[in-house]
Copies of this chain bind each other. A is one copy, B any other.
Amino acid sequence: MAFSVTILGNSSAKPTPTAHPSAQVVNLNEQYYLVDAGEGVQRQLIRRGINPLRLRAVFISHLHGDHCFGLFPLIATLGLEGKRTPLDIYAPAPMGEILEFHRRYFWEDLPYEVRWHEIRTTEHRLLMENNTLEVWSIPLRHRVPTAGFHFKEKQPGLNVDKFKITKYGLSIAQITAAKRGEDVVMDSGEIIPNAELTYIPYPARSYAYLSDTNYSAKAAELVRGVDLLYHEATYGIKEEMWAKGRGHATTIEAAKVALKAEAQRLIIGHFSSRYKSHDDLVEECRTIFPNTDVAREGSTFTIEERR
Contact = CB atoms under 8 A, between A and B. Distances in A.
Interface of A: 13-17, 20, 39-40, 42-43, 46-47, 63-66, 69-70, 72-73, 76-77, 80-81, 94, 97-98, 101, 105-106
B80 A73 contact: no
Contacts of A69: 69, 72-73, 76
B63 A105 contact: yes
A106 B47 CA distance: 28
Given A42-B39, A46-B15, A76 B65 contact: yes
Given A73-B65, A73-B69, A80-B13, A43 B46 contact: no
Contacts of A40: 39-40, 43
A50 to B, nearest CB: 11
Given A72-B69, A105-B94, A14 B39 contact: no
B17 A47 contact: yes
Which of A13, A14, A17 lies at the interface centre, i.e. has the most chain B CB atoms within 10 A of its CB?
A14
| Pairs A-B, 7 closest by C-beta atoms | A14-B77, A69-B73, A39-B73, A15-B43, A65-B76, A40-B40, A17-B46
A13 B78 CA distance: 11
B65 A43 contact: no
Contacts of A64: 106
Contacts of A94: 105
13 contacts: A13-B77, A14-B81, A17-B46, A39-B40, A39-B42, A39-B43, A64-B106, A65-B72, A66-B76, A69-B69, A69-B73, A69-B76, A98-B105
Contact of A42 (B15, B73, B106): B15
A81 B15 CA distance: 12
A66 B66 CA distance: 18
Contacts of A105: 63, 94, 97-98
A106 B66 CA distance: 10
A206 B260 CA distance: 64
Contacts of A13: 77, 80
Given A65-B76, A69-B73, A17 B43 contact: yes
A72 B97 CA distance: 17
A303 B43 CA distance: 32
B70 A42 contact: no
Given A15-B42, A17-B46, A40-B40, 4 more contacts: A15-B46, A16-B46, A69-B73, A97-B105
